[in-house]
Each structure stands twice: as structure tokens, then as C-alpha cells.
Amino acid sequence: MRLAPRLLGAAVLLGCAASAAAHVGHGVPRAGRSSAAGVPLDLYERHAAGSAVRHAKVARRRRSPAATAPTSEAQEAAITDETDACTPYSIPEVSALEGTFPTVWEIADILPGDVQAQGVWSAIQKSGIIPKSVKPKGTPDGDFDSFTPTYDQSNPDCWWTYEHCDVPKHPGIPDDIVGCPEPSTYGLTFDDGPNCTQQVLYDYLRDQKQKATMFYIGSNVMDWPLQAQRGLVDGHDICVHTWSHRYMTSLNDTQVFAELYYTAKAIKDVMGITVQCWRPPFGDVDDRVRAIATGLGLATIIWTDDTDDWQMKPAGKKSQKAIDRNYAAIIAGENSQKGNIVLAHELNNGTMHEFISQYPNIKARFDHVVPVFSCMNNTKPYLEDITYPSFEEYIAGGVASGLPGPDIKAVSTTYAPVLAQATSAASQQSAGAAGATKQNSTAAGKQSDQSAADGQKKSSASPAYSAFGAAMAVAGCGAVALMATL
Ligand SMILES: *[C@@H]1O[C@H](CO)[C@@H](O)[C@H](O)[C@H]1NC(C)=O
Ligand SMILES: *[C@@H]1O[C@H](CO)[C@@H](O)[C@H](O)[C@H]1NC(C)=O
Ligand SMILES: *[C@@H]1O[C@H](CO)[C@@H](O)[C@H](O)[C@H]1NC(C)=O
Ligand SMILES: *[C@@H]1O[C@H](CO)[C@@H](O)[C@H](O)[C@H]1NC(C)=O
Ligand SMILES: *[C@@H]1O[C@H](CO)[C@@H](O)[C@H](O)[C@H]1NC(C)=O
């Protein structure tokens, strides 16, 4: 099915009220798409056709540390020349880890013999949180043509891609976080980092004393570990954006698990933190995928507004003026009652400079520009002892404390997430009750501080997870603002 963008916007608006017709949501590639002309039409194709191939080669061709290659976060952060910054480097701590991770840019699955991963996966399965009725859909590159015609139009899987469902219909799964609740507040987020050219954005944010929420791709963390470390050292929010950036609802259970698990583990080994949040590439999530993420203690963060900046030339097809208009519409949507969460990308020089050029306009219109942890008062976002500012603290100039310094070093360590305790949370939620707060905030309760494989878990409340778990999603119509940008 193919809907023109404007009609799609109208369809989704209607969908909030009536949910009558079948709508294919934003993020679904259009029928007949083709990269034959060398101009890919969606992000996945861009990765597959270009960057993934290039990155795979890059990983293989990496040289040993040379005199000029950076060996620390501080050295890397000081490089301003793009060619230098994008010259592959190799640091021994990270090379030593590579055998314990899937191949970069390939769909992850549990590695043979990875007892720890198998233990965590088995605990999630035993928790009973994963709904058996929700099956994989479409293909990893987002072709749902053979799936949507027979899909139940009531959207029983709460598939976001279908009609932006963000209030799960299966028990024990928290609502997605969609917008910042604070009035006139711009939730600043960037997908797809870390990357070699990020300095232009990170230097700018540093100079503006502005923090953002960064959704990191696991393969990028392995390719550009010193850049990943900078994101944390600079005090930004760090969340998972999967291992290989595919459409998650297409993958089978162990692949979904592995895409999340190995990214979170890469972040733990390279950056030293156990993260508790993730964003699905293309927003492509359903209750099966959400449940597996919940099992790993990861809150699902979507967005209200999309800059569509990745579509900008030369990497995309749209003019900078078109992206300027997207930003203008988002800025005009400033609301004195509530805030938003805006999707942008650190992808390349173009998208980063586009944000930089828009930042003064954003600041002029919104009372506050904040990262997601702060707008949700999530002051303990990781399991480690690092404290982020609450909303009030952030807008008063507060920054995180307990962060590592520029001497941060990668090390192989145990990734021991807070696993959701689903069976006790199988609550009496009413299916499709948009906006109802119905998840059980005790859902996240078990922390494994021993080998995750031994199944011996101590019960301990997780304030960080609860802060996200109790988050109020901007209900079922939260995606309406996004449509204004189409
Ligand atoms: C998922 O798919 C991969 C690749 O086809 C396969 O190796 C693996 O066994 C599958 N896992 C499950 C749980 O079906
Ligand atoms: C990384 O940065 C390069 C250079 O800006 C860009 O071409 C590429 O698309 C980026 N790759 C990813 C995976 O974001
Ligand atoms: C990055 O973009 C800015 C703004 O468009 C431009 O001035 C600059 O030359 C670009 N840098 C590179 C390395 O392409
Ligand atoms: C964050 O804390 C402030 C001040 O206590 C409060 O007004 C606000 O409702 C809180 N926001 C969330 C999402 O909990
Ligand atoms: C939440 O979980 C607790 C502990 O398992 C249980 O006692 C309580 O009844 C649950 N509440 C709801 C609303 O499901």
C-alpha cells in the first residue's frame, strides 16, 4: 500500500480518533523504492549499500596504532580535520574485545558459546514477558508489503510503524517514552552515533553548554570507540540504537535480543556504563520487540517530531531548504502545555550543520532545550554511580557528576542488566487504552550482580528504571505533531 505523505498525515490524525482504517506509518519504505540511481530512499539502504560495506572493510583494514593515530578519548577529541578523524585507528583494548562481539554491520545473533548472553536470554524467556502471539514481520530492510495486507487492522501487536501505537497491548511492558512532559521544552536527541565526523557537533554542544540524548549503534561503538567515549565524557545521555540498524520487528527473538544485548555490552565494555534505554531504528517496534527490550531493562524512547534530516543532500535527496522547513514546523509547534522529543541525526556534516544553524531558532522559541534523562527526571540512568541532573537542576545549569574523565579505557567486563520481572507485572491493562498509565512500576526489580548466567538474582528496586518505567507517554496521539513536518 502506498499513501502520499499528506494523506498519510491525515490518516494518522483520523487514526487517533477512530483507528478504523489500516495505515502504514512513517518509516515504511515506499513501494517501488530503488537505489538503482545510487540514491537510496531509506536509511537502511543507505547503510547497506554504502556505510555498512565501507565500515566492514574499515574494520578489517585497521592498522596498528601509528604515531598519528589517537589512543585516548582526549587525543581523538582534539582532532578537527575530517580526514584525520575518519582514518581508521585501532586501540589494543578494543581489538581484544572484538572476538566477543558479532561482526559489525551484520544482523546480530547470540554468538555460539557465549554462555553469559545465553544465560540472560534464558532468564528473559523464563520471565514470560515475551508475547507468543506477536510474530516477526516483513524483511530487515523494511519491506512489509507481504505482511500488511493480512495484518489485523486493530493493530494487536502495537506496531508503531503501522499507526504509531506507543501504548503496549500486552502485559508487563511500559509505555514508550514519546515526548518530554515539561511545558515549552524541546527534547534534543541524535541517532546513529558515534561516528568519525562527530566533532563538529560535539564541540558545538560543548561550547553551548548543551547536552543531548545520543542513541548509539553498536557497530559504530566498535568502529569508533574513542568517539563513543567522548559522548559520555562530555555528559550526554547514552542509549542503545541496536547493533546493525535494521527493522527490528522483522528479526526473530534471538536476533532482537542480540541486537540490543551486544550493543549494550559494547557500551559497557567501551564506555563503562550499563544503559537502560533504547530507540528502535525507524521507530520500528512492536510488543514482542518491546518485551525483549523490557526484559533487558531498556526503556523504549520514540519521538514526537522528526526533522527528516537524513534525507538531506548529498547523502539524501532533499534540499536543505526542505529540512529547514521541517525544523520551522517543529519550532512553530512549541506548546505552552507540554514538550516534545525531536529526532535528528549526527550522521554527517550536513545534518550536524543543519542542527547547528537551527539551534538559535530553537532556543529563541522554546523555554528549554533538554536531553531526555533530564526532562524525565531520570537522575540515575545507568546502574553505575553516575548522577544526572533532574529537570530543575538541568535548567539551572546542572551537569552530571561521577562521569569518567578523558583517560577512560575500554575493558572486557560483565554486562549485568536489570532484568524485568515480568510474571508479577502481568497486570490488568486494558488493550488499547491510549494514555492510561497502567504498567506496574515494580516490573523492573531484579538485578543480577553475579554472573548473569547462574540465574541467582538478588531482588533490588531500580530507581533508574522506575523513573523511565513510570514515564508518561504522550498517549496514542503523540505522533500527530510529527505529521506536521511531512
Ligand atoms: C534466527 O535466525 C537466524 C538466522 O536465520 C538463525 O540462525 C537462528 O537460529 C534464528 N533464531 C531463532 C530463535 O529462530
Ligand atoms: C559516518 O560519517 C560519514 C562521514 O560523515 C558518513 O558518510 C556516514 O554515513 C556515517 N556513517 C554512519 C553509519 O552513520
Ligand atoms: C560542513 O558544512 C558546512 C556548512 O554547510 C560547510 O561550511 C563546511 O565546509 C562543511 N565541511 C566539510 C568538511 O564538508
Ligand atoms: C520532574 O520534577 C519536577 C520537580 O519536582 C516535577 O514538577 C515534574 O513533574 C517531574 N517530571 C517528571 C516527568 O517526573
Ligand atoms: C504490581 O506488582 C506487585 C508485585 O508483584 C503486585 O503485588 C501488584 O498487585 C501489582 N499491581 C498491579 C496493578 O498489577
**Closest-lying ligand 1 atom to the alpha carbon of residue 253:** 13
Q: Is the minimum distance from the CB of 376 to ligand 4 under 6 angstroms? A: yes
Q: Is the minimum distance from the CB of 109 to ligand 1 under 6 angstroms? A: yes
* Catalytic residue flag (residue 345): yes
Is it the case that residue 446 has pLDDT exceeding 60?
A: no
Domain ranges of the chain: 56-152+170-475
Is it the case that residue 421 has pLDDT exceeding 60?
A: yes
Predicted confidence band of residue 294 (pLDDT cuts 50, 70, 90) = very high
Q: Using alpha carbons only, how large is the chain's radius of gyration in Å?
A: 21
Nearest residue by C-alpha to atom 4 in ligand 2: 348
More confident call, 447 vs 233: 233
- How far does residue 196's CA lie from ligand 2's centre (Å)? 8
Nearest residue by C-alpha to atom 1 in ligand 5: 440
Amino acid at the residue 258: A
Ligand nearest to the CA of 310: 2
Neighbours of 64 (CB within 10 A): 10
Residue 305: the pLDDT is: 97
Residue 68: the pLDDT is: 72
CB 82 within 8 A of CB 245: no
Q: How far apart are CA 105 and CA 101, in angstroms?
A: 11
User: Residue 133: is it exposed, middle or buried by C-beta count within 10 angstroms (0-12/13-18/19+)?
Assistant: exposed
Select from 175, 177, 182, 465 the residue to mutate for testing ligand 4; criterion: most ligand atoms less than 8 Å from CB. Answer: 182
Q: What does the pLDDT look like over 51-104, one tens digit per residue?
A: 444 444 455 455 544 447 899 999 999 998 888 899 889 899 999 999 999 999
Select from 83, 201, 349 the residue to mutate for testing ligand 3; criterion: most ligand atoms less than 8 Å from CB. Answer: 349
Q: Name all residues whose Cβ lies below 6 A of ligand 2.
A: 47, 51, 192, 195-197, 220, 347-349
Residue 237: the pLDDT is: 98
Among 157, 191, 192, 287, which one carries the catalytic annotation?
A: 191
- Measured CA to CA in angstroms, residue 468 lies from 269, 276, 461, 485 at distances of 23, 9, 13, 27
**pTM to 2 decimals?**
0.80
Q: Is the minimum distance from the CB of 353 to ligand 3 under 6 angstroms? A: yes
Q: How far apart are CA 7 and CA 352, in angstroms?
A: 30
Q: 58-67, 270-279, 455-464: lowest mean pLDDT where?
A: 455-464
Q: How far apart are CA 189 and CA 15, in angstroms?
A: 26
Ligand nearest to the CA of 323: 3
Closest CA to 51 of 483, 358, 348, 446: 348
Q: Is the minimum distance from the CB of 440 to ligand 5 under 6 angstroms? A: yes
Nearest residue by C-alpha to atom 3 in ligand 3: 353
Q: Please, where are the H alpha helices in 333-458?
A: 349-365, 372-375, 391-395
Q: Strand pairing partners for 369?
A: 186
What is residue 83's three-state secondary structure? helix
Phi, psi of 450 (to 5 degrees): -110, -165
Q: What is the mean pLDDT of residues 161-187?
A: 96
Select from 246, 248, 255, 257 the residue to mutate for testing ligand 1; criterion: most ligand atoms less than 8 Å from CB. Answer: 255
CB 415 within 8 A of CB 218: no
Q: Is the minimum distance from the CB of 253 to ligand 1 under 6 angstroms? A: yes
Predicted confidence band of residue 384 (pLDDT cuts 50, 70, 90) = very high
Residue 57: the pLDDT is: 44
Is it the case that residue 136 has pLDDT exceeding 60?
A: yes
Q: Is the minimum distance from the CB of 259 to ligand 1 under 6 angstroms? A: no
Residue 232: the pLDDT is: 98
Q: How far apart are CA 395 and CA 397, in angstroms?
A: 5
Q: How far apart are CA 181 and CA 338, in angstroms?
A: 5
What is residue 331's three-state secondary structure? helix
Q: Is the minimum distance from the CB of 377 to ligand 4 under 6 angstroms? A: yes
- How far does residue 181's CA lie from ligand 4's centre (Å)? 8
Residue 445: the pLDDT is: 31
- Which uninterrupted H or E stretch holds 237? strand 237-240
Residue 419: the pLDDT is: 86
Predicted confidence band of residue 10 (pLDDT cuts 50, 70, 90) = very low
- How far does residue 57's CA lie from ligand 3's centre (Å)? 26
Predicted confidence band of residue 158 (pLDDT cuts 50, 70, 90) = very high
Burial 447-458 (b: 16+ CB within 10 A, else e): bbeeebbeeebe
What is residue 318's three-state secondary structure? strand
Q: Is the minimum distance from the CB of 98 to ligand 3 under 6 angstroms? A: no
Residue 95: the pLDDT is: 93
Nearest residue by C-alpha to atom 3 in ligand 2: 348
- How far does residue 182's CA lie from ligand 4's centre (Å)? 8
Predicted confidence band of residue 468 (pLDDT cuts 50, 70, 90) = low
CB 329 within 8 A of CB 319: no
Q: Is the minimum distance from the CB of 254 to ligand 1 under 6 angstroms? A: yes
Q: Strand pairing partners for 214?
A: 190, 238
CB 243 within 8 A of CB 108: yes
Residue 47: the pLDDT is: 38
Is it the case that residue 478 has pLDDT exceeding 80?
A: no
Residue 29: the pLDDT is: 37
Q: Is the minimum distance from the CB of 349 to ligand 3 under 6 angstroms? A: yes
**Closest-lying ligand 1 atom to the alpha carbon of residue 107:** 4
Is it the case that residue 451 has pLDDT exceeding 70?
A: no
* Catalytic residue flag (residue 175): no
More confident call, 462 vs 200: 200
Q: What is the mean pLDDT of residues 266-289?
A: 98
56-152+170-475: CATH superfamily: Glycoside hydrolase/deacetylase (3.20.20.370)
- Who contacts 158 (Cβ-Cβ below 8 Å, separation ≥6)? 165, 166, 167, 168, 169, 170, 286, 287, 290
Q: What is the mean pLDDT of residues 5-28?
A: 30
Averaged confidence pLDDT in the chain: 79
Residue 69: the pLDDT is: 87
Q: What does the pLDDT look like over 235-270, one tens digit per residue?
A: 999 999 999 999 999 999 999 999 999 999 999 999
Q: 23-32, 285-294, 352-361, 382-391: lowest mean pLDDT where?
A: 23-32
Grid cell in block for residue 211:
547536552
Q: 11-20, 335-344, 383-392: lowest mean pLDDT where?
A: 11-20
User: Starting from the edge strand earliest in sequence, which strands make up the sheet with 458-459, in order?
Assistant: 418-420, 444-447, 458-459
User: Residue 410: is it exposed, middle or buried by C-beta count within 10 angstroms (0-12/13-18/19+)?
Assistant: buried
